[in-house]
A and B are shown apart, each in its own frame.
Chain A
Amino acid sequence: MKIGDKSIDFDKDGFMVNPGLWDEQIARAIAGDEGIEEMTEQHWAIVNFIRNYWLEHDLAPAVRLICSDVGVGVRQIYKLFTSGPARGACRVAGLPKPDGCV
């Protein structure tokens, strides 16, 4: 798929095949596919936290860490990302699909 001037491949779950190519424009495109009309400040805070955590630990953060860092309530995150933190927020943040039952 062509996003901006980059050609981006997604796996069959819709996660980026090359997470290194991620940028904000791609994040907006994935968010659009998630049904998020506009990426608010809170959306970005969550996405950037997940992204940075993943760059540092090579791992998706647990929802507790996301909520505590960004300062959103546990019920709020499912309103912002209706697919939840894994298939929603992690996907927008350009992470590979987390393993297991998600």
Chain B
Amino acid sequence: MSYKPVKMKKRNPDPGPGRSGDSPSLTGAEDVVARAIQGLGIMHATACMHCGFCADTCHIYLAEPKLENIPAQKFSEITRYIRRRHTLSGRLFSRFVKNGELTQDVLRKISDAVYGRCTACGRCTLQCPVGIDLREIIRIGRKMCAAVRQVPEGLQRTVDNQIQTGNQMAIPREEILSTLDWLAEDLKMEMKDPSIEIPIDQPGKDFLYLINPREIKFFPLSLLSAAGVFHAAGASWTLSSRWFDVTNYGFYAGDTPAATELTRRVIEEAVSLNVKEIILSECGHGYRSFRWEGPHWIGQEYPVSIRSVIELLDEFIRAGRIRVDPTMNPERTTLHDPCNLVRLGGIVDPQRRILRRTVGDFVEMTPNRENNFCCGGGGGMLSMSEFGDVRVASGKIKADQIRATGAKIVATPCHNCADQLIELSKKYKLGVEIQAVVELVYNALIR
């Protein structure tokens, strides 16, 4: 398949710190809505009958049952504006009433709601009796905010880091190379095999493995495990020292030009390294972004195929390319389903097949699969300290789910969920260890 170079779309020129003051103009936010409702259809924005069924689907509402936490209420300012500007009755009567006007104050309210009281997990969308895509309307709100620099500060800084330095933690290239050397030494010792390498920037391999920068900076055991498993499977793979970041904070922020640029870089890197496939490390929103949103952003199909490492590990085990022994992971283990990978990404069974083969005592939490609750850390929440209290409070449901399983280990195929689950274990005294799926596979390897 051929690849047509993509030009970087124009981003908002002001690289300010996020929600620091009034935006000079709200036109950008108005344009977002005008474009979005063409795609989504005005029905989604105006069909809500306020039945309230969505309330009990939302972990944030359940943690704090107040009116403003009901999913449909979170976008009421957005739909009020859409009614005023984009429906006949709204246009006819708008000159008599102020209701639905887009002002700085309204935009700040939208920003608080769409970033601070919603993790964009999509559980409400699944239950809406009239089929409104609530999550998509929240996304319109995020895009409106991004268009006029009203993204919360920590999230905006992360997007800017990612665009400016190539990875969301601004890790310099030398540090990446040194860390990989250091990890390779540990891996050689652990696997008692001095021939192991962690390949970097090597062209012509079967796949390019994208990782979360957190796997370099703070939590390298998942990367070490993946390198060990790939070695055991005899895989032909490489990392990139330039564009290696599996995350896409542009997606979280609603900053489509940034999201497009981050996608473009990786796809072009895969083309220049001449790999057949891109394999995504365990990352919920990274999977959703690269697998499902990316082709729309860059306006064409990818010239390479793309899969989650979960699908690859499942293939390795089923094809007998690695042999695993579940008694190596004897402790009771449960599984948390990341919303963006499972409910919104469609990867539901591979992780279960893997755990049944690699873990001695695997138990499901309830509810699970596409009906699972968000951990509370989704939607970029972990990068926005101002909403830290909501994040931890809304994780109580997840903590209760975990406690009920009696598990000692929680496996989750998402680094973002993992951070939240570590904190939930501490705050709610669960005493559980959080592991990436690949870590459990590595533990279970028969060498």
Contacts and interface: CB of A to CB of B under 8 A. Distances in A.
Q: Which 9 A-B pairs have the closest CB atoms?
A: A12-B388, A100-B168, A13-B388, A13-B385, A64-B179, A11-B385, A86-B218, A100-B158, A64-B182
A63 B218 contact: yes
Interface stretch (B208-216, B297-305, B309-317): B208-216
B79 interface: no
29 contacts: A12-B389, A13-B385, A62-B179, A62-B218, A63-B179, A63-B220, A64-B175, A73-B186, A74-B183, A75-B221, A82-B426, A84-B218, A85-B218, A87-B419, A98-B169, A98-B218, A99-B157, A99-B161, A99-B169, A99-B170, A100-B158, A100-B161, A100-B214, A101-B158, A101-B168, A101-B212, A101-B383, A101-B419, A102-B419
A71 interface: no
A90 to B, nearest CB: 9
Contact of A35 (B216, B385, B419, B426): B426
Contacts of A87: 419, 422-423
Given A99-B157, A102-B217, 6 more contacts: A12-B386, A62-B175, A67-B182, A68-B182, A98-B217, A101-B168
A73 B247 CA distance: 27
Given A13-B385, A98-B169, A99-B168, A83 B221 contact: no
A34 B426 contact: yes
A74 B224 contact: yes
Interface of A: 11-15, 34-35, 60, 62-64, 67-68, 73-75, 78, 82-87, 97-102
Given A62-B216, A64-B182, A84-B219, A12 B419 contact: no
B182 A101 contact: no
Contacts of B382: 101-102
Interface of B: 154, 157-158, 161, 168-171, 175, 178-179, 182-183, 186, 212-214, 216-221, 224, 247, 249, 382-383, 385-389, 415-416, 419, 422-423, 425-426
Contacts, number: 96
Nearest to A11: B385
Counting chain B CB atoms within 10 Å of each CB, which of A35, A83, A100 scores highest? A100
A12 B383 CA distance: 11
B383 A100 contact: yes
B282 to A, nearest CB: 12
B217 A63 contact: yes
Contacts of B416: 101
Contacts of A73: 186
Contacts of B178: 64
